[in-house]
Amino acid sequence: MLFLSERDVERILTMKEVIEAIEEGFKSLAKGKVALPLRTRIRSLEHDGDILSMPCLVEDFNLYTNKIVSVYPKNVDLGLQTIHAVIVAVDAVKGVPIGVIEAGYLTALRTGGISGVATKYLSREDSKTLAVIGCGYQARTQVMAIKEVRKIGKVYAYDIIFEKAVKFAEEMKSRLNIEVEVVNSAREAVERADIIVTATTSKTPVVKREWIKLGTHINAIGAYTPDMREIDTETIIDAKVVVDLKEAALSEAGDIITPIKEGRYSEDRIYAELGEIVSGVKLGRTSSEEITVFKSVGLALQDNAATHALLKKYLNQF
């Protein structure tokens, strides 16, 4: 049984490969060929952290995966990453365990990857500016993915911890050869952007409708519980909203749940699941002026797809 480290994953797998695999995975989901139970979540109240178990089987990939991932926001104060993860991979044809994969970087890759897929279908093709709200570990792969599908010329970066935004800007400039400007407020970043990424653990909206220009696309990927929010109700009401999976969004996404509880939004106003769009059941962007929101809480399908791409390249047998 193999073991692949974080360094192995980073060495083997590219963002382009992850985006392609995730798109194929969502096409399989739309065809009904994915077993995807909702993740289980155990909370450590004493330490303000979550530990999640995320199983998935994709018939088209012949692969079962289960990721155990921890999210501990207070790790920032300890100089540690907020997210740690491992994936167990099993051959779904024979039921034989394939291996264990350190999955912190893979999680960041697949979270970026799904934003890449959503951005491909929902943003304007002429989008050139990107706002990143929240400059932690996940933000880096968001820029990598969006740069794969759109010709981004400039990034505006904001974080409540100014030094994190500065570090992020320096790293992205060096790694991706892209211009990054650190700004003093989320509003300043949002008002200048064609595409917005929110990658925070906020419990109150960090993006407001009044800041958003027509034709903007938003990837809201940070909030993953009913009490977390990154996007205000007015934005959700005015936007074409696409989710990774309705069942998951209605169970976990505070950005959707709160407007419904307020009586200002309803389940039937969610335009589509991402699988419906990538499979051609529904259209993505249909107007240069519409505001689009992709709300993701993170699915085990993304982990399975990224693991499939990794193993296919490493073992050349899937």
Residue positions annotated with a catalytic role: 67
Q: 95 CB contacts (<8 Å, ≥6 apart)?
A: none
CA–CA separation, 280 and 284 (whole Å): 9
Q: 220 burial class (0-12, 13-18, 19+ CB within 10 angstroms)?
A: buried
202 backbone dihedrals φ, ψ, rounded to 5°: -70, 150
CA–CA separation, 46 and 50 (whole Å): 11
CA–CA separation, 295 and 212 (whole Å): 16
Q: 218 CB contacts (<8 Å, ≥6 apart)?
A: 195, 196, 197, 198, 207, 212, 231, 235, 239, 291, 292, 293, 294
CA–CA separation, 312 and 318 (whole Å): 5
CA–CA separation, 104 and 141 (whole Å): 12
CA–CA separation, 139 and 132 (whole Å): 7
Radius of gyration over every alpha carbon of the chain, rounded to an integer in angstroms: 18
